[in-house]
Amino acid sequence: MHTCLVCSKRFDSRTSLERHIGTSYGKEKEPMHMPLLVYKAKHENQLRFSKRCLYKMYEKEMKSTVMISEELGVNKRTLLSTMHYYKIKLRNISEAAKNQSDRDGIWNKGKTKDDHPSIMKYANSRLGKNNPYYTAPGFEERQRKNRERFLGIHRQQCHNCSPIRAGGVYITVIIGVWAVVG
């Protein structure tokens, strides 16, 4: 038999006791129960769930709630309700991101699509017609202006070439090298 040390109810299994503690907290008119991890710290002497230990991991060691929950082997939601009960102030998104970059470094610093699979996946997803350049309004107009700009600059800088129009495409011969323009 397992007995709740808060309200003295008796349960056949440990799981039933833990469900009772977890579901009773926050639903009582007179708050008697507490989150499961607080119950374990206070009544079962599991000090790894104490306010001091959680505060040390979160504030002093700058661990994230995900890291703490994995280290303690508990659900993140259970950990968050315990931290709320203990009145440990949680970081906002900006503070959490800064903390992570300070702790772990910037994940993609110095990486390219050739040596990092996530960057390669992103780059491949934007090839060809998937590139926003193609799908943005006014693509044809931008393409025409870019072609005119390129040809104008090219004509000014290159004296050894002659553009040849072949099938709607300008082919430029630059000292024996063929380049397709537009």
Each residue's pLDDT tens digit, 107-131: 677 788 888 888 888 888 888 878 8
162: left (phi over 0), alpha (psi -120 to 50) or beta: beta
End-to-end CA distance of the chain: 82
Where do runs of H (alpha helix) occur along 26-136? 36-43, 51-55, 65-72, 76-85, 93-104, 117-125, 132-135
3-state SS string over 48-71? HHCHHHHHHHHHHCCCCHHHHHHH
Residues 20 and 27: their CA atoms lie apart, in Å, by: 11
In the chain, what percentage of residues exceed pLDDT 90?
13
Kindly report the pTM of this predicted structure.
0.54
Residue 1 token pair: 């038999």
Tell whether the model's pLDDT for residue 72 goes beyond 50.
Answer: yes
What's residue 175's pLDDT? 46
Cβ(2)–Cβ(14) below 8 Å: yes
Residues 117 and 121: their CA atoms lie apart, in Å, by: 6
Residues 173 and 49: their CA atoms lie apart, in Å, by: 75
Give me the mean pLDDT over the 29-48 stretch: 81
